[in-house]
Structure 1
Amino acid sequence: MACPRGAASPDTHTQRRLFAASGGYCQNPACERELFVDAAGKSIHVAEMAHVFAANDDGPRAKPQMSKAERGAFENLIMLCAVCHTMIDKAPDAYPDDVIRGWKRDHAKKLQSLFGVTEFSDRGAARAVVAPLLDENRAIFERYGPHIEAAQNPESGAAETWRRKMLTRILPNSNRIIAQLDANRALLAKEELDVVEAFRQHIDDLEAVHIEDRREDASRFPAGMQDVLKG
């Protein structure tokens, strides 16, 4: 997902924000193509980080007065599929900056309406929102996780399927869980707050491995997280 131009490339924090903001879909509302797909048994991504104002002075929608940091900032980037990225850069007059930024705003509103975070007055109501996401993540892990027998065979495609499930379901679900729990911290017991913070670090580690392709061990899913807000 890195910017192919090199100059004004976003840092890893910005890359993660863009990934989360996309929800796994192209941010062009007329497209909304899935950014992670299966092809010939392999998981591939068609996600590209596009600049609203060009990374270089001679690029599409160039704004020479912008600094390198401003060009690589979250506000100047949008996550698109390869087709839409090419389209906006090949025809910049048809896609001015206000149109592209409007796409990003509209996409954010759509995600918020679909997965809006709510502050609840009781634990049961908050648990009813979080539990299905935790259950889906657990079911995916049990069926596709790296512990299954097929994962030991490098030719099985199991590793690619696991990575796709991680990018399209587990990480988006987990970020939604964290946002929901952060909005309802007042309902959490002290020991649950500690579990949530351990879960946050667990997801940060997974993002480092699966988004940034870092070769490092991720922390384990914290005990007690599956039962958060119960009772």
Structure 2
Amino acid sequence: MTEDERPRLDCGYRWRIDLACPRGAASPDLHTQRRLFAASAGYCQNPECERELFVDADGKSVHVAEMAHVFAASEKGPRGTGGLSKAARGAFENLVMLCANCHTIVDKAPDAYPDDKMLGWKRDHAEKLKGLFGVIAFDSRQAARETVEPILAQNRAIFEQYGPHIEAAENPESGAAERWKRKMLTRILPNNKRVLALLDENRKLLQNDERNTLELFRQHVDDLEAFHIENLKNDATRFPDAMASILEN
């Protein structure tokens, strides 16, 4: 990974992942980058690939995420004859989030990967995530709780050990910011997506106040992604305390 490809540190704990297309002709804006990351939930959007896009390797966060144009950034590129404007080529609708291997393959063999096939990947990805996340409809609150609780517990343990409140965070030379960023990208954000998918699938099991808690959690997740991916200087909503006991009998 080159220096330009590494996550950028700004103001201690605010990070932005640079996923922009290096061609630059139709580079997506930050909002589009965040939408793509959220839609991918950290996995390659090629339905034949289950690779995680943020890999925890030897204590370092390595991202293999690349935004692939369906219709290329220029008319001369792969699938470049879509007749789209520069703005349209950099729009969410013309992009898919792939691992580096899949991005290389679709661009080197464009005839095997026409635009309708690649656009279909995004539509099918939500169903794919249900399988990767183990998302099923449960018959009881207890069964749903037994699946959701360990995920929440892992996020809580990560926050308590690595979060920005720890003593080491006061020392910029401690590496605490790097460790927290790595855990956020490789564990907490994907875990949040899994919890949302599980609770949405089992919404019928939730009580009215729990449905309100779910929506508060959804906004918390959205704010976290804006803060850590898009580098928006927003006041993030707090994790709703009631989430810790959701689905308890």
Same fold, judged at TM 0.5 (above): yes
Report the TM range for the smaller structure's normalisation.
0.7 to 0.9
Q: Structure 1 residue 225 and structure 2 residue 243: aligned?
A: yes
- State the SS of the aligned residue for 1:43: strand
Residue aligning to 1:24? 42
Shift of 1:54: 0.3
For the 8 Å contact 2:130–2:136, the answer to whether it is kept is no
Shift of 1:136: 1.2
- State the SS of the aligned residue for 1:49: strand
Which whole-Å CA distance do the structure 2 matches of 1:81 and 1:170 have between them? 20
Q: Structure 1 residue 193 and structure 2 residue 211: aligned?
A: yes
Aligned CA distance change for structure 1 residues 32 and 225 (closer, same or farther; 3 Å)? closer
Given candidates 117, 128, 151, the residue that maps to 1:133 is 151
Which whole-Å CA distance do the structure 1 matches of 2:155 and 2:136 have between them? 21
Aligned CA distance change for structure 1 residues 180 and 37 (closer, same or farther; 3 Å)? closer
Shift of 1:90: 5.0
- State the SS of the aligned residue for 1:208: helix
Which whole-Å CA distance do the structure 1 matches of 2:80 and 2:103 have between them? 15
Given candidates 227, 235, 248, the residue that maps to 1:209 is 227
Which whole-Å CA distance do the structure 2 matches of 1:193 and 1:101 have between them? 32
Given candidates 169, 185, 204, the residue that maps to 1:151 is 169
CA shift digits 1:83-141 (9 cap, x unpaired)? 55345435545655466567667766543322243333432122122112111111111
Residue aligning to 1:49? 67
Structure 1 length-normalised TM? 0.80
Shift of 1:148: 1.7
Structure 2 length-normalised TM? 0.75
- State the SS of the aligned residue for 1:138: helix
1:63-212 matches, within 5 Å, as 63-68=81-86, 70-82=88-100, 84-86=102-104, 88-90=106-108, 92=110, 96-97=114-115, 100=118, 110-212=128-230
Most deviating of 220-229 and 172-181: 172-181
Aligned residues: 231
CA shift digits 1:120-170 (9 cap, x unpaired)? 343212212211211111111112111122222212222112111111211
Structure 1, unaligned runs of 5 or more: none
For the 8 Å contact 1:51–1:77, the answer to whether it is kept is yes
Shift of 1:189: 2.2
AA partner of residue 130 (structure 1): V
Aligned CA distance change for structure 1 residues 80 and 186 (closer, same or farther; 3 Å)? closer
- State the SS of the aligned residue for 1:130: helix
- State the SS of the aligned residue for 1:200: helix
Structure 2, unaligned runs of 5 or more: 1-18
Aligned CA distance change for structure 1 residues 117 and 12 (closer, same or farther; 3 Å)? farther
What is the CA RMSD across the aligned residues, in angstroms? 3.1
Most deviating of 144-153 and 33-42: 33-42
Aligned CA distance change for structure 1 residues 228 and 220 (closer, same or farther; 3 Å)? same
- State the SS of the aligned residue for 1:224: helix
- State the SS of the aligned residue for 2:241: coil
